[in-house]
Structure 1
Amino acid sequence: MNSPASAPEKTFFGHPRALVTLFMTEVWERFSFYGMRAILALFLSAAVLDGGLGLSTGTAAAIVGVYNAMVYLAALPGGWLADRVLGPRRAVLVGALVIMAGHISMAIPSGAGFVYLGLALIVCGTGLLKPNISSMVGHLYEHSEAARRDAGFSLFYMGINLGALSPFIVGALGQKVNYHLGFAIAAVGMFFGVVQYVAGGKGLRGIGERPAHPLTTAERAGAVKVTVLALAALAVLALAALALGVLTLDAVTVFLTVLAIAVPAGYFAYIFLGDHGLTDLERSRMRAYLWLFLSAAVFWMIFDQAATTLTIFAATSTDLNVLGWSMPSSWTQNINPIFIILLAPLVAALWVRLGDRVGTPLKFALALVLAGLSFVAMALAATAAAGGVKVSILWLVLVYLIQTVGELCLSPVGLSVTTRLAPAALGSQMLGVWFLAVSVGDSVGGQVARLSDGGSSPAYYLWSGVFAVLVGLVLLLFAPRLRRLMREGALDNKRNLSS
């Protein structure tokens, strides 16, 4: 990975100026992603006469869950392609173009085929873009202490959430006019992202131009062979399922959930059982990282149900009337990014003030407890909505407020700690591994919601919330041991002395 040139660095509120290019690109990518996702479950479950696909709410929740899971699962091969073939900078550009093509496909009103093709393209494109743009942000802070790096990622995260306000536009047009029009607006947003990224490319000063560890000719041939064999095996499996009459949407979501769990399990086994040139320090840090990964998966299992169970609850059980006007239910997904924008600067400043007195494991534990408490609040809201009663939107505001504080304790910190703990030879790949935690949580959460008939019962929310709280408390107990494995404070001091 190339380092920036030695010319004096321009700053943006004390952070590298290139951060603006990267988070503005991510703003537009998130505009397209969250805008489309805000109406996806509603589109899938809406009646055909109303412009939807007419699926059950449980199946729609499972599809959205595994779609989210595959988006983040694709981050692993996306990181590998950047490390070994494309380089992060080119991977981000190719990914953005593929994402735009996916939204264009979904905008074509010609049946379910173009919808599923569009989802597949968005999965592939996001897998290339997501880990590699975060990896480039990490390289802006190669010689910075952990607190400044955490603050930079928190600001980056705030910029991302400007794009996440897209349901105000995409949701309104999708629900009030036509779902496919909403998908088209998402494509336009990604187009702006491509233009912005290309225009700001010079400011990156060489970051991510070349792969960190390019494939040799023999390795390239082997990678092509493995890819062809994997695709052939998948085709044979699909044909066999079709012949047996078991190739259903629900069966596909179950298969993809198993895949989402198997891939990170296999990858961690690959890391720990192989040599890969890891030092003793890197192995110690990876052992700690495994527990952070599992904790993050539980958090995302709760948090990412905003696109499924919480959106459906908003549409069916929440009073959305404002002065006689019915607000689109997809707009409730704007509550979280609004809170992010308001709170992210405060949390970023708090991490700098606390320094290394509050370690990453403690932040993760707090995030899990808050995620669990948010679903306990949802259990109370679902109880109040029993019998068809419409509850106040303030219930969802409370739930999203609790989740947002938890998100700020985990998500930007998780990105930061991944770039900090990643072995030198696996930089972009480890960002892909971080997003696998989202993949596991989303896929499992989607299946649990499907088996719970869309996850609408108070008991579903209560037991899910209690489980997350218990995991958070266990992590809290082991936080000191994990910090020792990570050697957080010692590493930060060593980095400062060598800078």
Structure 2
Amino acid sequence: MGTGGRGDAGEGEGGPAAGHVEGDHAFLGHPRGLFTLFTTEMWERFSYYGMRAILLLYLTDTVANGGLGLDRTTGSAFVAIYGTSVYLLSVVGGWLADRVVGARRSVLYGGIVIAAGHVLLTVPGFGFSMAGIGLVAFGTGLLKPNVSSMVGELYARHDPRRDPGFAIFYMGINLGSFFSPFIVGSVQRAWGYHAGFSVAAVGMALALVFFVAGYRYLGTAGTDVPNPITPDDRPAVARLGALVLAGVVAATVLAALVGKGWGIETFIDAVSYLALATPAVLLVVMYRSPRVTAAERPRVLAYAPLFVASMLFWMIFEQAASTLTEFADDRTSLELFGISISPAFFQAVNPASVILLSPVFAWIWTRTHDRPPTAYKFVLGLTFAALSFVFLALASAALGDSLASPWILVTVYVIQTLGELCLSPVGIAATTLLAPRAFRGQAMALWFLSNAAGQAVTAQTIEATEGVSDTAYFGGIGAVGLVCACILLLLAPWVTRHIRRADELEGAASAGA
């Protein structure tokens, strides 16, 4: 699944990380704290993806069937913008952990807020549902970026167990993501949407239990506030807060003027504007900052096409919860091997594919000495994502009014997983490599924002293409994705030169340290 932490959080320039416990090999040769974070993240992802698997169906089903009765266009756009909100708020969650509460309390508070949100979703009523969705988004923003950073703090900087430890941790993510659509989808079909949301609430409660029970195994990981706000910082923080508030107000007013009114569409548009404007502003600030050297400035430019490719990839990939769920519900035969399945079932295909294919890709990159270079991996990732939609468009055209075989959507998700394994694992590395030294933390925020911006584009595209056929919708997006992949292919040698130059500069700096 699409995941990521805050880069090298918790790593010093030398010696052990903050939470490192010397000689702890109790969990599969790893620190016991890894089991705590593994189970916490597994159950949190269970709750998140379980809730997301049925969210569109709940929003758009009739009130008589227990849904909220939104039209499909608005519901799909809202689900996309919900994903945007999670990634926008992840930037806030990382900032709060770094400057106010620390990663451990951020995870705890985030988990409590998520659990409260899921509980509200079990209560019928539009107001309860919107409040619940908002709390889940905010709590996930607090929790998501900080669990990964705590994993890094369990290991000394050069501990060879670090990478395998993250591999085990991400396996927990995919296990939770794999099982949740089956269980939540089955419960929803048997007893209704609110029963399905209650299963997600139980999952989050289990995550909190494992996290609190495992506190003693985490050492000091996540307890430190790396860059606390000092009295001298308060005026700057107040200005930043005022600037963010002004941006939110401006985006909301603009959305209301464009939409000529207030409503759920206004919220969708306002969040879209924020998600698209924020990374653009951050890139410009990085490029123009006096703290960025002349040698670093071209690297900011080199990152821009990778950011766009990542944004377009997530724009396609994250439609699992919106347009692909709609296709599953409306245009797919929900019977596989003679067994009736839920539309939510298909969202289990990606984590299953990640679990099966990750060792294959690790073997390929090892055999090829990590080739092709980063920019070409981004090209491959975007190409696979685009091809998945081209394939679905061709299948839609061939089917006409007939229902699609479940294997069509399974194939779409497998193709997208191939793209994910090409692009996502190298994205954080590329971000840290090309980021100016003065903007390492902000650069990791920028990586999160590529997902937020991608889902914002999805929301706007869904609204703009209301009434368009599935063939035209998926085919059009697939074609645009392929064209952009070709453009990035032409830019790849230029990007690669800048990445190699950055690598040389990093090596020289390390040698001189």
Give the TM-score normalised by structure 1: 0.88
DSSP 3-state at the match of 1:357: coil
Counterpart of 1:193 (choices 207, 232, 241) is 207
Aligned position for 1:223: 237
Which ranges in structure 2 are unaligned for 5 or more consecutive residues? 1-9
Does the Cα contact within 8 Å between 2:121 and 2:194 map onto a contact in 1?
Answer: yes
Report the more deviating stretch, 406-415 or 279-288. Answer: 279-288
1:448-463 alignment runs, 5 A limit: 448-453=461-466, 456-463=469-476
DSSP 3-state at the match of 2:333: coil
Corresponding position: 1:390 with 2:403: yes
Does the Cα contact within 8 Å between 2:59 and 2:75 map onto a contact in 1?
Answer: yes
Which one-letter code corresponds to 1:180 in the other structure?
H
Counterpart of 1:184 (choices 184, 191, 198) is 198
Which one-letter code corresponds to 2:313 in the other structure?
F
Q: 1:368 to 1:229 in 2, by over 3 A?
A: closer
State the alpha-carbon separation in 2 of the partners of residues 421 and 361 from structure 1: 12
Report the more deviating stretch, 418-427 or 131-140. Answer: 418-427
1:206-245 alignment runs, 5 A limit: 206-220=220-234, 223-224=237-238, 227=241
Which ranges in structure 1 are unaligned for 5 or more consecutive residues? none
Aligned position for 1:82: 97
Does the Cα contact within 8 Å between 2:122 and 2:194 map onto a contact in 1?
Answer: yes
Counterpart of 1:478 (choices 491, 494, 500) is 491
- Per the TM alignment, residue 306 of structure 1 is displaced from its structure 2 partner at its CA by 0.9
- Per the TM alignment, residue 231 of structure 1 is displaced from its structure 2 partner at its CA by 5.2
Q: Which has the higher contact order (CA 8 A, sep 6+)?
A: 1
Q: 1:479 to 1:18 in 2, by over 3 A?
A: farther
Counterpart of 2:342 (choices 312, 316, 328) is 328
Report the more deviating stretch, 46-55 or 357-366. Answer: 357-366
Does the Cα contact within 8 Å between 2:174 and 2:352 map onto a contact in 1?
Answer: yes
Counterpart of 1:400 (choices 396, 413, 419) is 413
Report the more deviating stretch, 416-425 or 228-237. Answer: 228-237
DSSP 3-state at the match of 2:497: helix
Does the Cα contact within 8 Å between 2:21 and 2:154 map onto a contact in 1?
Answer: no
Instruction: Among all aligned residue pairs of Structure 1 and Structure 2, give the percentage whose two residues are the same amino acid.
Output: 44
Aligned position for 1:269: 284
Does the Cα contact within 8 Å between 1:135 and 1:428 map onto a contact in 2?
Answer: no
- Per the TM alignment, residue 390 of structure 1 is displaced from its structure 2 partner at its CA by 0.9
Query: Residues 258-300 of structure 1, C-alpha deviation per residue, up to 9 Å, x if partnerless?
Result: 111011112222222224x456666554443333222110001
Aligned position for 1:411: 424
Aligned position for 2:61: 46
- Per the TM alignment, residue 320 of structure 1 is displaced from its structure 2 partner at its CA by 1.4
State the alpha-carbon separation in 1 of the partners of residues 215 and 141 from structure 2: 20
Report the more deviating stretch, 366-375 or 430-439. Answer: 430-439
Which one-letter code corresponds to 2:105 in the other structure?
R
Counterpart of 1:69 (choices 64, 67, 84) is 84
- Per the TM alignment, residue 378 of structure 1 is displaced from its structure 2 partner at its CA by 0.6
State the alpha-carbon separation in 1 of the partners of residues 196 and 82 from structure 2: 18
Does the Cα contact within 8 Å between 1:150 and 1:348 map onto a contact in 2?
Answer: no
Which one-letter code corresponds to 2:149 in the other structure?
S
Aligned position for 1:435: 448
- Per the TM alignment, residue 373 of structure 1 is displaced from its structure 2 partner at its CA by 0.5
Aligned position for 1:313: 327
State the alpha-carbon separation in 2 of the partners of residues 85 and 348 from structure 1: 38
Does the Cα contact within 8 Å between 1:157 and 1:412 map onto a contact in 2?
Answer: no
Aligned position for 1:362: 376
Q: 1:288 to 1:323 in 2, by over 3 A?
A: closer
- Per the TM alignment, residue 409 of structure 1 is displaced from its structure 2 partner at its CA by 1.4
DSSP 3-state at the match of 2:403: coil
Aligned position for 2:126: 112
- Per the TM alignment, residue 498 of structure 1 is displaced from its structure 2 partner at its CA by 8.9
Aligned position for 2:266: 251
Q: 1:423 to 1:335 in 2, by over 3 A?
A: same
Which one-letter code corresponds to 1:160 in the other structure?
I
Which one-letter code corresponds to 1:30 in the other structure?
R
RMSD over equivalenced CA pairs, Å: 3.3
Which one-letter code corresponds to 1:311 in the other structure?
T
Which one-letter code corresponds to 1:415 in the other structure?
I
- Per the TM alignment, residue 233 of structure 1 is displaced from its structure 2 partner at its CA by 8.3
State the alpha-carbon separation in 1 of the partners of residues 143 and 77 from structure 2: 24
DSSP 3-state at the match of 1:164: helix
State the alpha-carbon separation in 1 of the partners of residues 448 and 168 from structure 2: 19
Report the more deviating stretch, 298-307 or 13-22. Answer: 13-22
Does the Cα contact within 8 Å between 1:72 and 1:432 map onto a contact in 2?
Answer: no
Report the more deviating stretch, 79-88 or 114-123. Answer: 79-88
Does the Cα contact within 8 Å between 1:131 and 1:431 map onto a contact in 2?
Answer: no
Q: 1:123 to 1:248 in 2, by over 3 A?
A: same
Count of aligned residue pairs for this structure pair: 494
Which one-letter code corresponds to 1:194 in the other structure?
L
Corresponding position: 1:159 with 2:172: yes
State the alpha-carbon separation in 2 of the partners of residues 201 and 350 from structure 1: 38
Report the more deviating stretch, 42-51 or 1-10. Answer: 1-10
DSSP 3-state at the match of 1:108: coil
Which one-letter code corresponds to 1:223 in the other structure?
V
State the alpha-carbon separation in 2 of the partners of residues 142 and 336 from structure 1: 32
DSSP 3-state at the match of 1:485: helix
State the alpha-carbon separation in 2 of the partners of residues 492 and 273 from structure 1: 22
State the alpha-carbon separation in 2 of the partners of residues 347 and 328 from structure 1: 30
Counterpart of 1:21 (choices 30, 36, 40) is 36
Aligned position for 1:468: 481
State the alpha-carbon separation in 1 of the partners of residues 140 and 346 from structure 2: 24
Corresponding position: 1:57 with 2:72: yes
State the alpha-carbon separation in 2 of the partners of residues 495 and 151 from structure 1: 27
- Per the TM alignment, residue 417 of structure 1 is displaced from its structure 2 partner at its CA by 3.8
- Per the TM alignment, residue 424 of structure 1 is displaced from its structure 2 partner at its CA by 5.7
- Per the TM alignment, residue 149 of structure 1 is displaced from its structure 2 partner at its CA by 7.1
